A = this chain, B = another copy of it.
Amino acid sequence: MSVDSYTNLSAIAIHGGAGTILRANLTDEKERDIRAKLTESLEAGNVVLEAGGSAVDAVQAAVVVMEESPLFNAGKGAVYTHDGSHEQDACLMDGATRNVGAVAAVKRVRNPILLARLVLDQSTHVLLSGEGAETFATTNGMELVDDQSYFDTEFRYQQLQKAIAREKKENKQHTQLDHSDVEDKIGTVGAVAVDRHGNLAAATSTGGMTNKRHGRIGDTPVVGAGTFADNKTCAVSSTGVGEYIMRAMLAYDIAALMEYKNLTLEEAGHIAVMEKFTELGGDGGVIAIDALGNIAMPFNSSGMYRGWMRADGTSEVKIFKE
């Protein structure tokens, strides 16, 4: 899913998470719902771009749509931590300035990407965490949800119960990551865009891993791992097992391959994800876009909810590999 040599056209690409997504496990109804929501997200971003808006505003708008949906592990559909709460991470990066806003482990923020935007705009800090991040939110006029019940969904609650039961049955140390843990975190959302001025931006938002504890922070709020944007190379949003994405510096690695080896977005994405990240043992993928509007969406898992849309009206939404 890459289209080369588009120019002077705005474009947006999104993901709703990568992992073991098999046709057999996805009902027709759920597949239809997911495709519809991905399309709605793309349209929300594209409206901003078509009106001459910025890439930052576009990726934010696209991510908000997915955060508002219970279908993805971000915002409304965020997974449960071990103690039954929700702790979310988000990051937004402006490729024109390389400014970043990121938040980690926030509990009462309906749209974590909007708090990341507030950090980008109003703080000289890059990464705020926990209660401190929420104090920053209220100080700057953002309303928090009264309690976490807004984020409660039966589907995610059952996921937590299953994860806890599995842990007990297997007498598994919580220090071991296994395939089930990975499956329980599918649904991180992200968007990358180029606006008509050639500015890039990337945004990522996630509820993290079902049954997580110990204040675990994943790749999403980490600049260069889960999220990166620089006008001179590309904008990238990652999804998959955060520990490997961080060790691979996955998002920045694509930019570095373009800048230092003069590779195309497609080539750089392939080497970073399909070769280096895979060799490290990582599982997941990225969406990436460059200033010419080229889009690459490499992933090494069986599926990734994803799509793209251009100002010329062309678009595509896909779930499985083919």
Which residues of A are interface residues toward B (Cβ below 8 A)?
A: 98-100, 104-105, 122-133, 135-136, 175-177, 213-218, 222-225, 228, 242-243, 246-247, 249, 252-253, 256-257, 260-261, 280
Contact = CB atoms under 8 A, between A and B. Distances in A.
25 contacts: A99-B247, A100-B247, A104-B129, A123-B214, A124-B175, A124-B176, A125-B214, A125-B243, A126-B246, A126-B247, A127-B216, A127-B217, A128-B214, A129-B129, A129-B216, A130-B130, A132-B213, A135-B213, A135-B214, A136-B214, A224-B225, A224-B249, A228-B249, A252-B253, A256-B256
Given A124-B243, A132-B214, 18 more contacts: A98-B247, A98-B280, A122-B175, A125-B175, A126-B243, A126-B246, A127-B246, A128-B214, A129-B215, A131-B215, A132-B213, A135-B214, A222-B223, A223-B246, A224-B224, A249-B252, A257-B260, A261-B261
Q: How many copies does the complex hold?
A: 2
Among A104, A249, A261, find the residue whose CB has the most chain B CB atoms closer than 10 A: A249
A127 B127 CA distance: 14
A contacts with B: majority SS: mixed
A128 B222 contact: no
B124 A242 contact: no
Nearest to A125: B216
A216 B215 CA distance: 15
Nearest to A241: B124
A132 B249 contact: no
Contacts of A100: 246-247
A142 B203 CA distance: 37
B261 A249 contact: no
Contacts of A253: 252, 256
A100 B246 CA distance: 9
A286 to B, nearest CB: 16
Contacts of A242: 126
Contact of A215 (B99, B133, B243): B133
A122 B177 CA distance: 12
A53 B127 CA distance: 36
Contacts of A246: 100, 126-127, 223-224
Contacts of A123: 175, 214
Contacts of A129: 104-105, 129-130, 215-217
A58 to B, nearest CB: 21
